[in-house]
Amino acid sequence: PDVYSYSVIMSGYAKGGSMQEACKLLLEAKKSHQKLCPVTFHTLIRGYCKLGEFDEALKLLTEMKDYGVEANVDEYNKLIQTLCLRALDWKTSEKLLEEMQGKGLYLPGITRGLIRA
């Protein structure tokens, strides 16, 4: 399968809460393809956030960078919203905000407001 097919299947697993299966597919996709797309990682980050597994979501952000895939506003936005609203982890949220601003990325006003609240 191509990268986008992997992403669609991973999305199904993630939405169903089967993150272990989704991550198995990520490993398979990495072996089969030299380059993955941000959507592939975003799907898994959303899945971990939905389950409240914030550390795993943050690990994926790092893994994404290590794999040469640039995180975009969507990944940061999802992580920061989740960290502010569910984990109440303001410190990590602020670090992520600084990191993304260093890359020239900016959050929507609503999410920026969560950090400043």
108: domain CATH number is 1.25.40.10
Q: Is 113 helix (H, G, I), strand (E, B) or coil?
A: helix
pLDDT-above-90 percentage for the chain: 56
> How many structural domains comprise the chain?
1
Which residue from 23, 33, 94, 100 is spatially nearest to 65, judged by alpha carbons? Answer: 100
At 34-73, the pLDDT tens digits run 788 888 899 999 999 999 999 999 999 999 988 889 998 9
Q: List the domain range (segments joined by +) for residue 93.
A: 3-116
Q: How many CB atoms lie within 10 A of CB 30?
A: 15
Q: Token match 């895939």: residue?
A: 69
Q: What is the pTM of this model?
A: 0.85
